[in-house]
Chain A
């Protein structure tokens, strides 16, 4: 069987950043497996700008951002197999995949980085009543049709969900000559970035209807109209508020789900909140030698954070294969402190930390469960508050982070938990 030090599942921004980072750490026998015919993942269809402000200190489009990583991987000579679908990852890190050139093949990997990304929630997951005609697309599918295939999915559009892809597609469809009647959002706040509401909706006079949902799809063969109603506090449609929007297209931007079918097959423990793997300070999953990063781990708002996280995962994967068997065994028994998400914080990545193994600084990322104004993000080591930072606005659409210092943890032996929570004062 083919042997590789590291196999990376997915050649999007996460997989590429992980591969480059691992290579730069000195582990060069790497193989990236990508199911699409191109590297770069979903960034290739994200032709809008706004990527890379953190990473490159300039504003790039999705394809440009991806290309920087693709070029770097090529410079380093990292092998990437495109058109290659991974079918199975075993708990002992045998990766089985299929492509046209090799057929079905397996690679024994020293370590595996999971970087499969996420998928969009389909209509069916929402139980929107009505017919099932042509013209109902997830925003990402529409984005692919318009930006990659050069095709128009419709002319008169209603969008359900105000996730970023939905907002971006509202503008994109408008620029291509379609009319977007409204964006309906079930929650009382948007799931997208504020800047996208301004430059994708406000700029074009597209109304954002908060606390609204689609209650019915009309049209047996092609969408003819959708019904939009206001919802009450328990998110139920309020009778009498329905309004019929004649249209030929309904786009859905109602959430992203990490794609963890392979992780599940490998026996990786998944978080019911993020739907991604449970990881430690090295982004290692519950299966030794299997790491995760990017949207397969938890859905990110900015690709810059994906790149940072993936670089950390790649470095961890390299460290894993460079270590001795004894060191790996010893790592298994090291003391771990759970990271607990509380009071408005929905989850943290990672969810456990070993002070002995962590780097000097560790970024802990999280999301909040609601819109909060003027709250403090606090970190407690045991009972002691070690950080207390005021935020004017916190929203579920935006990822937050706190940085933990190893010195802080090591100077407090015996703490049983690290708590990240929101406080009013």
Chain B
């Protein structure tokens, strides 16, 4: 039987979608299978959302290389695909003089990794840059190339652009088996349908070990590493203006305090290894740790302004290195596994690297001249924009006059757009990730019923079928059902 696809990518997180988008340059049949109902539902949605400068990873490692490359590529990608990034720079803060050599080591490593413009700044300059920095701060490593990104925006932009260029997406499709067929093609069995393909890319995040181990005797192991966070209201969003890391001391590793691309303040993460790759639940201990540790680098963090907390799992493997490449003994099966931090920063580079591997394996050729669309128009944001932008939109389309999410100023027009885009939103969370409705201080208290109604109307759904985040997360119960 002839393969229907040239490439099946497993996983629609940032890695999978970056690979898909790069592959969409080629004249190839590409399909992304995703177990959840939407893109950006696993590790990609719950992390620090930092574009790391690249001084952390071991010099010479793949992580270091892809981090620095990814950082360089991110800004142009953001222009092409119109998602939010901000090059706010990062500071690694040293809070005791004895630890200063550690900062020097980071500086040296960063330089060796090719990170531009790194330097150590002293207390006075630091205070000037960050008035709320802890009084214990001694000095800091300043990395102006670091930034913050809207992770949802990035992931969705990659996916939408891939879809624009012909990549197919299958959602709610959990992969149960990947097996090489007698003719050298691969059969990917999913809960939706089976797909036959010439090549498989394993971008399954915390499940990338499970997928890898289906095809290889050289087993890998992912140990999900939980990170818990608290997100503060935009009223606290300017408490710091750069991403603040703590230089690890004998007191521990510390957590980051950072503005976000949506104007909030993020504090976290914790780091605890867990067994269950589903355990994205927050814990009493974890949240308490976040609350206490943020004070190590930043003073007076207004924790009263917390609007939500969440936990994400990093796809950590004991070797602490990305696993990228064709798997030995499994021709056509390409790992994009163990993508933990700085995986988000690296994804533009990971996409290129994996696409190069696949295209040389399959001998792919570019799409005919001019038929690949490199750019994509992002979602309209009204919050914080000059009011004449809004006024002009409202003149053209009255749905821009109907504010649905009052906290983040999201109108009906934006929500309808989020639903009807390629790979449009199908749930409350899908709408939230695309246009921020429900992401504000009331956390959807006021707008949820309205967004549910718009989803019903636009998708022709019954109220009982509207979900928070896909099947099983229905928001209402049947009328009269016991």
Contacts and interface: CB of A to CB of B under 8 A. Distances in A.
Note whether A and B contact each other (Cβ less than 8 A).
yes
Interface of A: 35, 83, 85, 87-88, 96, 98-104, 119-120, 122-125, 127, 129-135, 137-138, 140-141, 144-145, 148-155, 177, 215-217, 220-222, 237, 248, 264
Contact of A127 (B287, B390, B398): B287
11 contacts: A87-B409, A104-B390, A104-B394, A119-B445, A123-B443, A127-B282, A129-B284, A141-B448, A152-B478, A220-B280, A220-B281
B309 A152 contact: no
Given A138-B445, A141-B449, A152 B477 contact: yes
Contacts, number: 140
Given A88-B387, A129-B282, A145-B449, 13 more contacts: A83-B402, A85-B403, A87-B387, A98-B400, A98-B401, A100-B399, A103-B394, A103-B398, A124-B309, A140-B445, A145-B476, A177-B480, A220-B278
Contacts of B448: 137, 141
Contact of A124 (B307, B409, B449, B482): B307
A182 B473 CA distance: 23
B395 to A, nearest CB: 5
A221 B172 CA distance: 14
A172 to B, nearest CB: 15
Contacts of A138: 445
Q: Is the interface of A mostly helix, strand, loop or mixed?
A: mixed
Given A104-B394, A151-B479, A124 B403 contact: no
The 3 closest A-B pairs by CB, nearest first: A124-B308, A103-B394, A122-B443
A103 B476 contact: no
Interface string B447-482: 011000100000000010001111111111111111
Nearest to B476: A151
Contact of B475 (A85, A101, A150, A153): A153
Contact of B308 (A35, A103, A122): A122
Given A141-B449, A145-B476, A222-B474, A215 B284 contact: yes
A12 to B, nearest CB: 13
A291 B462 CA distance: 44
Nearest to B228: A129
A155 B477 contact: yes
Contacts of B388: 104
B163 interface: no
Q: Is the interface of B mostly helix, strand, loop or mixed?
A: mixed
Given A35-B406, A122-B442, A125-B306, A153 B280 contact: no
Nearest to A179: B482
A131 B476 contact: no
In this complex, which of B387, B390, B443 has the most chain A Cβ atoms within 10 angstroms of its Cβ?
Answer: B443
Contacts of A103: 391, 394-395, 398, 400-401
Given A104-B391, A119-B446, A122-B443, A177 B306 contact: no
A421 to B, nearest CB: 26
A130 B281 contact: yes
A113 B468 CA distance: 37
A134 B453 CA distance: 16
B216 interface: no
B398 A119 contact: no
Given A130-B282, A141-B445, A151-B479, A102 B401 contact: yes
Given A99-B401, A127-B230, A129-B284, A134 B449 contact: no
Nearest to A178: B477
Given A102-B401, A129-B281, A154 B477 contact: yes
A101 B449 contact: no
Contact of B463 (A101, A151, A264): A151
B5 interface: no
A124 B306 contact: yes
Contact of B306 (A100, A104, A127, A132): A127
A102 B442 CA distance: 27
A246 to B, nearest CB: 15
A168 B1 CA distance: 64
Contacts of B468: 133-134, 221
A100 B401 contact: yes
Interface string B155-167: 0000000000000
B231 interface: yes
B441 interface: yes
Nearest to B387: A104
A131 B402 CA distance: 32
A129 B401 contact: no
B310 interface: yes
A129 B477 contact: no
A127 B395 contact: no
Contact of A134 (B284, B394, B445, B473): B473
Contact of B403 (A35, A135, A141, A149): A35
B302 to A, nearest CB: 11
Contact of A120 (B390, B442, B473, B478): B442
B181 interface: no
A391 B362 CA distance: 85
A101 B469 contact: no
Contacts of A135: 475
A151 B280 CA distance: 29
A100 B388 CA distance: 15
Contacts of A144: 449
